[in-house]
Structure 1
Amino acid sequence: MDVLSDVLAAMRVGRPYAGRVRCGAPWGVRFPSDDSACCHVVLQGTCRLVLPDGPPLALGVGDVLLTAPGHGHALADRSGGPLVDFGPARAGDSLVTELDLPGQGAATDLLCVRYRLDRLRTHPLLAELPPVIHLPARLGRRSALRTIVDLLGEELWAPGIGTDALLASLMDMLLLYALRTWIDERPGGATTGLAVALTDPAIAIALQHLHHRPEHLWTVSELAALSGTARATFAKRFTSIVGQAPLAYLTWWRMTTAARLLHRTDVSLQAVVERCGSDSRHAFADAFGRE
């Protein structure tokens, strides 16, 4: 079981929504502090990330920027200039719309993708996501991520047969590759959260088993044995990194999975109960209610 894909599938709400922003200096676009993660790609020109606190961050062609939910920010040609809210006009069910900010100065072309996430039940591993992940373009590095950026640019510049389907897949891939790149290149010193959990051998193995078989009646001893560590050591390390004890995380994940199945599918209630490792609808209802 791919835990990262599973986590994102559980937290995602609806389809991603993107705006292609064409700007001429002076310009500035404000992104609100809401339940959306944003992924920005500089397709042409340069700009700055402007945060409520902290110095601005310069961005160039090919740079990818990922911002976590709940962190408002702005992109602009300079700090201190006027800002407009990000809200390009949508045409029907189109995944990508246009936002033009005409100006006489230097031109910048951006792709800004918003992924709405369920903040009512934020996944413990996503809770430690940093406010901003900056992946600058580097020659000879991050070839897969660069390929996704190039393909997105081509589809935007010259749309053709199947563009809508391609863009939907490419936008999903952009988020996954950005997170994967950050996990692979994360700076040292982190002790908790998504990147640590998915790269710690013992914890990653335990998470894979929990996600693959949530209906199984897991014990801490069984998970520790699969992870190749002593029970007490495993329990302490899992709780420290994930933010919940192993069986508490299992219950949380079961109820999150149940909510997703009930909300998004026509699976019978009995099938949901069994998927969550319960043999009683009443016991399931009590656990679901507590969560």
Structure 2
Amino acid sequence: MDVLSDVVALMRTGEPRSVRISWRGQDFPPVQGTTSIQVVLRGACWLLPPEGEPIALSVGDVVFLPHGDGYGLAGDPATPLTASACGAREDAGSFTSASLGGDGAETVTLCCGYRLDPGRAHPLLASLPAVIHLPARLGHRPELRTVVDLLAGEIDDPRMGVDTVVTSLLDTLLLYILRAWFGTEAEHCGHSAWAAALGDPAVGRALDAIHRDPAHRWTVASLGARAGLSRAAFARRFTGLVGQPPLTYLTWWRLATAARLLRESDAPVAEVAGRVGYGSEFAFGNAFKREYGVSPGRYRRAGCARNRVTRSR
């Protein structure tokens, strides 16, 4: 897997959720605790971020709020952003469609989100700004428009396999947003060390190697050779852009991968240890406990208990 794919896989907590809302003159209160994507399908409105000026949105605009901050949508930018206990219902399913009453011109928005677990966030996600606004421009980012159209169609007319299709499309939508930000939005690279890291050929090759084969016995020298730099030059460059020394990041990524395997598979702990590069279950257990505060077995049992609670709602 590559870095952006891994970021999406790591951030998942339960099923992603999406709702297509038709509304007239409605104001939506802040919703906390989710990474949110808003797409305007029809009409126009204003995004009211937790800080900064309101953002005018029109048809085709995409907004990504990566940190779970509260925000509002309104027909009038002067609407005050007030606290609210409202939020997405746990029993609403992974996708739905709603039509709300009111006066004024119709606005149709597609709201998508992932529940957040701050302890699992990739540092790349933390490097993003509070709000990423990708305005619609004719002929620009056609792949983003295609995914939005497919997603809206699946929600409006659910058919066999819709759960898998919607989940996959949401992942694809998020990946296209991240690509747009880190790849084609070159003007933003100065604002994010991770944008610079992904755009740096040498560091990018090393990150790709770590993510594609975390179990390999990487050293600073072998990663430097993959990057085409001397050991010392590579270590300085990687640390300066990523914010961690190469082997510190490698260890973090191995353990993050192990945590995902413990949550999502039935593989024995010893097998998980081997798949992320640890020669013994004992060494893996010690490293995992230092990072997560519990043993691998207890971490897996706690995750299973959370899943049972979620499924019972």
- The normalised TM-score by structure 1 is 0.91
Deviations 1:244-285, CA, capped at 9 Å, x for gaps: 110000110111111111122110111111122222222212
State the partner residue of 1:107: 106
Matches within 5 A, 1:1-291: 1-25=1-25, 27-34=26-33, 36-81=34-79, 87=87, 94-186=93-185, 187-190=187-190, 192-291=192-291
Shift in Å, 1:100: 3.8
Q: Distance in 1 between matches of 2:179 and 2:12?
A: 17
Deviations 1:27-63, CA, capped at 9 Å, x for gaps: 21123332x2101110111011112321110000111
Shift in Å, 1:102: 1.4
Shift in Å, 1:99: 4.1
Of 78-87 and 115-124, more deviation after overlay is shown by 78-87
Check conservation: 1:89, 1:99, Cα contact below 8 A. Answer: no
CA change 1:263–1:167 in 2 (3 A) is closer
CA change 1:153–1:121 in 2 (3 A) is closer
Q: Which amino acid aligns with 2:56?
A: A
Check conservation: 2:258, 2:272, Cα contact below 8 A. Answer: yes
Identity between Structure 1 and Structure 2 (%): 48
Q: Distance in 2 between matches of 1:243 and 1:70?
A: 23
**More strand as a share of residues:** 1
Check conservation: 2:67, 2:126, Cα contact below 8 A. Answer: no
CA change 1:280–1:11 in 2 (3 A) is same
- Indicate the SS of the match to 1:30: coil
Shift in Å, 1:87: 3.3
Check conservation: 2:49, 2:70, Cα contact below 8 A. Answer: yes
CA change 1:189–1:88 in 2 (3 A) is closer
Q: Distance in 2 between matches of 1:8 and 1:290?
A: 24
Q: Which amino acid aligns with 1:258?
A: A
Q: Distance in 1 between matches of 2:85 and 2:46?
A: 16
Q: Which amino acid aligns with 1:190?
A: G
Q: Which amino acid aligns with 2:21?
A: V
- Indicate the SS of the match to 1:58: strand
Q: Distance in 2 between matches of 1:174 and 1:168?
A: 10
Shift in Å, 1:210: 0.9
Shift in Å, 1:101: 3.3
Q: Which amino acid aligns with 1:43?
A: L
**More helix as a share of residues:** 2
Q: Structure 2: where are the runs of 5+ without partners?
A: 292-313
- State the Cα RMSD in Å: 2.1
- Indicate the SS of the match to 2:137: coil
- The normalised TM-score by structure 2 is 0.85
Total equivalences in the alignment? 288
Q: Distance in 2 between matches of 1:79 and 1:133?
A: 18
Shift in Å, 1:162: 4.0
Structure 1's consecutive aligned runs of 4 or more residues displaced over 6 angstroms after TM superposition are: 82-85
Shift in Å, 1:217: 1.8
Q: Structure 1: where are the runs of 5+ without partners?
A: none
Shift in Å, 1:290: 1.2
